[in-house]
Chain A
Amino acid sequence: MAGRAPLAGIRIADFTWVWAGPHCTLQLAHLGAEVIRVETATRICVTRMLPPFAKFQPGPNRSGYFNQYNQGKKSVALDLKRPEGLEVAKQLCAISDVVVENFAAGVMDRMGLGYEVLRPLRPDLIMIALSGYGATGPDCHKVSYGPAQVPLSGFSSVTGYRGHPPMHIGISYGDPTGGLHGAVAVLAALLHRAKTGRGQYIDLSQWETTMALLPEALLAQTMNGAPPERDGNRDPHMAPHGAFRAAGDDDRWVALAVEDDAQWARLASLLGDAAPAGDRRFATLAARKANEDALEALVAGWVSQRSPEDAVEALQAAGIPAFVAARNRDLADDPHLDARGYFVALEHPEVGALKHCGVPWRMSASDSRVRAPAPCLGQHTDQVLREVCGYGEDDLARLRAANVLV
């Protein structure tokens, strides 16, 4: 909608890199905060150097990974290893509402940008650190990598096919999970500040935010002394519940779930003679769980004779939850997502107008959207130093000559 942006007038000094921190500030940018990335070519953000690069041509401004998670932000190039650079960063923090960073514990302190340094410059500052292990504790100086958070947090030990080794879950799940929890924390702290005038420091551990999403496994252990076994796509409370290969030879699958006996009755009538009405093997959830292999074989046979789209249409028409196991291209071509205007393709100076994922929520009165493509490295250095920090041309020339704005 065309109203005011919820975070209009809120400025974020963004020292984040890789994915967790950028995912946090992405949400705040969607909500209209002025997010100013402080970054440097001397230690370039990891995702700027990772594929996919537009048309396979590498370059720090051409990565789809970076450009997805930094939409709507500004970029200031600043070498924080130089004292003049540090001064600029401090000044930016002093006129920001929120400072966000996701370095390992202690790095901001060592750079001279710790909370105790910044708070006197801005007494109501909100600062959040999204580190892998948290800011305290005996393991806080361990090295955390996104892919390693999944096994560390416990997800891998309970994710996998029955009787097979532990599995990854396909993404560095601690990163977006940490980032989203971080955005919740920042917004709560902003509401608190609006009421009391007080800021605060927030210590977020990606490990802990990821475990927050694993209560069923952790409580199985605390209540009964044993974790759940890896069980593929099956569910203790629903059957059938799985992904089944569709017709064709291009690895396309249909995910479906039967939540109750009524849905089972409707699925049975789709299956036809293969699942005669009143077949006692499948009449109740307990019976379906007891005969799940046979049940899955019936469903697999039915799905294997249909295109994934036809199978899903038939299942959804019968009120049964189902969807193709979507690949990236399937999402990009999804008419429903298109009709909802989910994707955005804003003109980027180096990659042009390519499709990116947009905002997963809509607000009826507030202006919430992707406001700009991801910034090129240092694209807003001059603008931010002039208009936000109030530097004159002489200051800019001096900093540029000292090789600070890189």
Chain B
Amino acid sequence: MTGPLDGYRILEVGTGVGAAYATKLLADLGADVVKIEPPGSGDPVRRRGPFPGGVPHPEKSGLFLYLNANKRGITLDLQRRRGHEVLERLAAEADLLVHDVHPTAMAAHGLDWDRLSAASPRLVMTSIAPFGLTGPHAHWRATDLVSWSAGGLSTLNGDPARPDLPPLKAFGDQSGFQAGLNAAIPSLAALFARLASGRGEHVEVSVQESLAGILELTFEFWPYCGLVASRLGAKPIQPLCFVECRDGWIFVCCVEEHQWKAFAEIMGNPEWAEMEIFANRLARGANFDALHIFLSEYCATRSVAELYEEAQARRVPFAPVSTMGDLLASEHLKARGFFATLEHPVAGTVTVPGRPYVFSATPWAIRRPAPLLGQHTAEVLEGLGLDPVALAAEGAV
């Protein structure tokens, strides 16, 4: 069976998670993605862990192996004119080029839209940049933490009881993942538009804007009510909180009154739950400190799995605070076949998060492991009628 994007040819010049995740989404749906890495050092993601045994190795980066399965890989020195010429040849055969080279370095890397599109009018090029390609901050730099802050997300997370602790980022390079998602969407849309127009186009994606667009209800508090959101504000509705059980943490989630009543019943309708200070969700929010003490005393006697199942059986949306081990052991995820296994020639067998969606006719599939550095250079260049040996002698690949 083939993927929905079978036959599409895509180039990626990735320097981080953004471009690599965008093209991973497409590669996993059948597109033929060729990843272009600098000779010698390769994609900087190769230097990010986790590594088996904690020992860094450019072919064993867990993040790299995950992001680049299903892609082929070539090396090409985009700092040289010869590299730009080869890139143009590659682009002429491609439907889409996705990159996250910083805007101030694009020209030096041959990522010149006017030139590429003149040579390949059907090409779509998608540029991911921390603050977009235009505007007064276009040349500013960002990493995940900085983008997460610039998009307004880090100020949504804090501990009201500990104002001394800083705004907090989420685990992992989430800015990169969100940028990748927000790049894949218009990239596919541009390919769809091309079915009618016959022409490609240039798409730019701002990481800051991608994040500002997912603030849930927080952003609109300013235009709608003139309220500045604070990370230190207590939640008005409770319980919506983490509580420690005897074998881990659970997320206690009672939004509606019937959910609280059901939870009280699970707890055996203790006297304290009848107290006036816990009479409704707003009262429970106002008296959260006291509530949390009672909940902690109760949950300390329970196991996470039991409490989760009992709450769910009463349609109360509790969730376990899953550890990575819990996720890998989940019978539900096993039954759905979520996790996937890669066989990599250097890193060995690696279990990774698998398909995020199930297509009935054109399945998501892992077809090959991530490329070794330069593994497909000769194959790809010969396919273009270029001489990989001569290019290697010039130092271009």
Q: Mark B196-207, 1 if CB is under 8 A from A, else 0.
A: 110111111110
In the complex, the answer to whether A214 meets B222 with C-beta atoms within 8 Å is no
The segment from B75-83, B265-273, B348-356, B384-392 that touches chain A is B348-356
In the complex, the answer to whether A159 meets B168 with C-beta atoms within 8 Å is yes
- If A232-B166, A233-B168 touch, whether A148 touches B253 (CB-CB below 8 Å) is yes
In the complex, the answer to whether B361 meets A65 with C-beta atoms within 8 Å is no
Taking CB atoms, residues of chain A closer than 8 Å to B209 are 337, 340, 342, 357-361
In the complex, the answer to whether B350 meets A52 with C-beta atoms within 8 Å is no
Taking CB atoms, residues of chain A closer than 8 Å to B47 are 237
13 interchain pairs, CB-CB under 8 A = A6-B190, A135-B358, A137-B335, A143-B316, A155-B171, A165-B242, A203-B357, A207-B333, A214-B171, A215-B66, A242-B145, A336-B135, A351-B224
In the complex, the answer to whether A319 meets B216 with C-beta atoms within 8 Å is no
In the complex, the answer to whether B359 meets A257 with C-beta atoms within 8 Å is no
Is A168 interfacial (CB-CB < 8 Å)? yes
In the bound complex, CA of A244 to CA of B167 (Å): 9
The segment from A34-42, A218-226, A385-393, A397-405 that touches chain B is A218-226
In the bound complex, CA of A211 to CA of B354 (Å): 9
- If A171-B214, A222-B350, A329-B228 touch, whether A166 touches B242 (CB-CB below 8 Å) is yes
Is B377 interfacial (CB-CB < 8 Å)? no
- If A202-B358, A328-B215, A363-B190 touch, whether A316 touches B242 (CB-CB below 8 Å) is no
Which residue among A23, A159, A202, A328 has the maximum number of chain B CB atoms within 10 Å of its CB?
A: A328
Taking CB atoms, residues of chain A closer than 8 Å to B321 are 151, 156-157, 166
In the complex, the answer to whether A366 meets B242 with C-beta atoms within 8 Å is no
Q: Mark B213-226, 1 if CB is under 8 A from A, else 0.
A: 11111111111110
Is B275 interfacial (CB-CB < 8 Å)? no
The smallest beta-carbon distance between A214 and chain B, in angstroms, is 6
Is B338 interfacial (CB-CB < 8 Å)? yes
In the bound complex, CA of A94 to CA of B186 (Å): 27
In the bound complex, CA of A3 to CA of B196 (Å): 12
In the complex, the answer to whether A184 meets B188 with C-beta atoms within 8 Å is yes
Is B149 interfacial (CB-CB < 8 Å)? yes
Is A325 interfacial (CB-CB < 8 Å)? yes
Is A200 interfacial (CB-CB < 8 Å)? yes
In the bound complex, CA of A357 to CA of B249 (Å): 35
In the complex, the answer to whether B206 meets A360 with C-beta atoms within 8 Å is yes
In the complex, the answer to whether B155 meets A326 with C-beta atoms within 8 Å is yes
The segment from B35-43, B85-93, B177-185, B282-290 that touches chain A is B177-185
- If A137-B333, A191-B5 touch, whether A52 touches B227 (CB-CB below 8 Å) is yes
Taking CB atoms, residues of chain B closer than 8 Å to A138 are 331-332, 335
Which residue among A154, A251, A325, A363 has the maximum number of chain B CB atoms within 10 Å of its CB?
A: A325
Q: Mark B136-176, 1 if CB is under 8 A from A, else 0.
A: 11101111111111111111110100110111111111100
- If A145-B255, A151-B319, A165-B249 touch, whether A52 touches B224 (CB-CB below 8 Å) is yes
Is A265 interfacial (CB-CB < 8 Å)? no
- If A50-B217, A147-B240, A340-B132 touch, whether A251 touches B189 (CB-CB below 8 Å) is no
- The dominant DSSP class at the A interface is mixed
Taking CB atoms, residues of chain A closer than 8 Å to B145 are 233, 235, 241-243, 255-257
Taking CB atoms, residues of chain B closer than 8 Å to A19 are 216
The smallest beta-carbon distance between A326 and chain B, in angstroms, is 5
The listed residue (B62, B155, B218, B359) touching A223 by CB distance below 8 A is: B62
The segment from A79-87, A106-114, A173-181, A270-278 that touches chain B is A173-181
Taking CB atoms, residues of chain B closer than 8 Å to A161 are 159, 162, 165, 168
Q: How many residues of B contact A (CB 8 A)?
A: 151
Chain A, 340-390, CB within 8 A of any chain B CB: 340, 342, 345, 351, 354-366, 368
Which residue among B148, B224, B255 has the maximum number of chain A CB atoms within 10 Å of its CB?
A: B224
Taking CB atoms, residues of chain A closer than 8 Å to B219 are 64, 68, 328, 331-332, 357
Is B251 interfacial (CB-CB < 8 Å)? yes
The smallest beta-carbon distance between A294 and chain B, in angstroms, is 17
The listed residue (B67, B156, B193, B223) touching A4 by CB distance below 8 A is: B193
In the complex, the answer to whether A133 meets B332 with C-beta atoms within 8 Å is yes
Chain B, 252-272, CB within 8 A of any chain A CB: 253, 255
The smallest beta-carbon distance between A170 and chain B, in angstroms, is 3
Q: Mark B37-54, 1 if CB is under 8 A from A, else 0.
A: 000000000011111111
- If A171-B216, A222-B351, A328-B229 touch, whether A208 touches B356 (CB-CB below 8 Å) is yes
In the bound complex, CA of A166 to CA of B168 (Å): 12
Q: How many residues of A contact B (CB 8 A)?
A: 157
Taking CB atoms, residues of chain A closer than 8 Å to B278 are none
Which residue on chain B has the smallest CB distance to residue A194?
A: B195
Given contacts A134-B336, A192-B361, 11 further A-B contacts (CB under 8 A): A64-B224, A148-B253, A155-B171, A159-B168, A172-B216, A189-B359, A209-B356, A224-B52, A323-B140, A360-B182, A360-B209
In the complex, the answer to whether B141 meets A321 with C-beta atoms within 8 Å is yes
In the bound complex, CA of A354 to CA of B342 (Å): 49
Is B25 interfacial (CB-CB < 8 Å)? yes
Which residue among A195, A208, A212, A354 has the maximum number of chain B CB atoms within 10 Å of its CB?
A: A212
The listed residue (A170, A257, A364) touching B146 by CB distance below 8 A is: A257
In the bound complex, CA of A228 to CA of B54 (Å): 11
The listed residue (A236, A316, A361) touching B186 by CB distance below 8 A is: A361
Is A15 interfacial (CB-CB < 8 Å)? no
The smallest beta-carbon distance between B320 and chain A, in angstroms, is 7
The listed residue (A137, A214, A228, A329) touching B353 by CB distance below 8 A is: A214
Taking CB atoms, residues of chain A closer than 8 Å to B199 are 365
The smallest beta-carbon distance between B117 and chain A, in angstroms, is 9
In the complex, the answer to whether A215 meets B163 with C-beta atoms within 8 Å is no
- If A158-B171, A218-B327 touch, whether A361 touches B204 (CB-CB below 8 Å) is yes
In the bound complex, CA of A330 to CA of B155 (Å): 11
- If A138-B335, A161-B165 touch, whether A321 touches B181 (CB-CB below 8 Å) is no
In the complex, the answer to whether A148 meets B131 with C-beta atoms within 8 Å is no
Is A169 interfacial (CB-CB < 8 Å)? yes
The smallest beta-carbon distance between A189 and chain B, in angstroms, is 6
The listed residue (A65, A134, A327) touching B220 by CB distance below 8 A is: A65
The 8 closest A-B pairs by CB, nearest first: A64-B220, A170-B156, A219-B62, A192-B4, A221-B324, A365-B201, A360-B209, A255-B149
- If A137-B333, A189-B359 touch, whether A243 touches B166 (CB-CB below 8 Å) is yes
Taking CB atoms, residues of chain B closer than 8 Å to A251 are 163, 230-232
In the bound complex, CA of A237 to CA of B145 (Å): 13
Is B325 interfacial (CB-CB < 8 Å)? yes
Taking CB atoms, residues of chain B closer than 8 Å to A7 are 189, 192
In the complex, the answer to whether A157 meets B155 with C-beta atoms within 8 Å is no
Is A289 interfacial (CB-CB < 8 Å)? no
- If A184-B184, A214-B353, A342-B212 touch, whether A361 touches B203 (CB-CB below 8 Å) is yes
Which residue among B154, B192, B193, B225 has the maximum number of chain A CB atoms within 10 Å of its CB?
A: B193
